[in-house]
Amino acid sequence: MSFTTELADHLYKTTGALTRVGAGDISRAVLDYLHERIAGGDADLPGIGRFMISDRAEKRGRNPSTGEPMTVPACKVIKFQPSAGLKREINGQ
């Protein structure tokens, strides 16, 4: 079962005010909105954490198939920093 389906099912069961179709529409809309926010830069999710866009510099590497040296191009990466509360919950504190 996909996360989107699980989220829709959770919304449907916990609210009691949504149809399954409505819960699915809302879950897709929320995930689309998060996607847009993260792609547009930093996105804070209170109680969960923060997504950040970071630049990764060009670096030297090796082709794993041939072992030949190669240049790995610079790119942007997504980093996630969990909130303090989420860290405590994960660590059982």
Q: Domain holding 92: CATH number?
A: 4.10.520.10
Number of domains in the chain: 2
- In whole angstroms, give the CA distance from residue 21 to residue 13: 12
Query: Is the full-model pTM beyond 0.85?
Result: no
pLDDT at residue 70 is higher than 90: yes
One domain, residues 52 and 90: yes
CA diameter of the chain: 60
One domain, residues 29 and 46: no
Query: Could you read off the pLDDT of 35-67 as tens digits, one per residue?
Result: 999 998 889 999 999 999 999 999 999 999 999
State which H helix or E strand residue 14 sits in. helix 3-15
Find residue 54's DSSP bridge partners.
77
- In whole angstroms, give the CA distance from residue 53 to residue 43: 9
pLDDT of residue 57: 96
Are residues 50 and 86 in contact, defined by beta-carbon separation less than 8 angstroms? no
One domain, residues 6 and 32: yes
pLDDT-derived band of residue 1, with 50, 70 and 90 as boundaries?
Answer: confident
